[in-house]
Amino acid sequence: MAKTPAQRFKKHGANASIPQHHLPSVINPSTSRTPKKAQNNSNLILIAGVVASLFLFWYLHLLTLNQLTQLSGGLAMPDSLFGGFDQGFVERLRAAMDEDARGQLNYVHKTAGTLFPLIFGFTWLLLIGTNVARKGLRWALWAVPLLFAAVRLWGNATIDQMMSADSVDAGQVALASGLTVAGWVLLVLSLVVGIAAVFLGRKPASAGARTEGHAQS
């Protein structure tokens, strides 16, 4: 049986050899997170966000809102009108849609109509953040998708209030129309901003690759 350090010291005194116990290293180098791994994770999230945004846009504008025209006598939903709408259109739409049809429009706004701007806005924030290094420029570009998400959510709520009100209010119609137009404009601007961010992200990488090539030659 192996003797304990105390037993060795008692028998041999100062000449006792006490084995040293080495603790295992806490750091596992195999699990270190490199910048390349972090970039790959960001790219995967971006791809998933873009796919989800495309699906929700198709589901909301090309499928669901288009199907609701069957409950409105063929009249388009306010969200689909790029150029906005006037009080006369709203009065005709309210007359054509019963309470159940208006409830379905409200449900669409609370589900896909809420998810689309939120997921699109988050995806574009990540896209800009991973490609634009300058802090001031990054915040300026972030403002566009943030405004888009806020305007679309505000527009959904205003349209629902307009459709469920006892009577048509001209000011409420003007606000809902303005928010709808602003939402479409901000969506297009967000797409342009996203393309610009990708271009800005690739430009420094290309410059670095050229510099490395000259150094090797």
Q: pLDDT tens digit string along 164-191? A: 999 999 999 999 999 999 999 999 999 9
- At 86, the pLDDT band (50, 70, 90 cuts) reads very high
153 pLDDT exceeds 70?
A: yes
Quickly count: other Cβ atoms within 10 Å of residue 74's Cβ: 8
Residue 77 lies in a domain: yes
Angle at 98 between CA 96 and CA 103, to 5 degrees: 125
Separation between Cα atoms, residue 88 and residue 175, nearest integer Å: 15
Report residue 168: phi and psi, to 5°: -80, 125
Q: Is residue 27 part of a domain?
A: no
Asked if the structure places residue 26 within a domain, the reply is no
Q: Give a yes or no: residue 100 inside a domain.
A: yes
Print the domain residue range for 153.
42-216
CA–CA gap between residue 119 and residue 149 (Å, rounded): 9
Domain total of the chain: 1
- pTM, entire model: 0.77
Q: Would residue 102 be called left, alpha or beta, if left means φ above 0 and alpha means ψ between -120 and 50 degrees?
A: alpha
The answer to whether residue 16 sits within a structural domain is: no
pLDDT at 96: 96
In a domain, 160, yes or no: yes
pLDDT at 9 over 80: no
Tell me the chain's radius of gyration from C-alpha atoms.
30
pLDDT band at 144 (very low <50, low <70, confident <90, very high): very high
Does any domain span residue 5? no
Among 7-11, 16-20, 33-37, 191-195, the range scoring the smallest mean pLDDT is 16-20
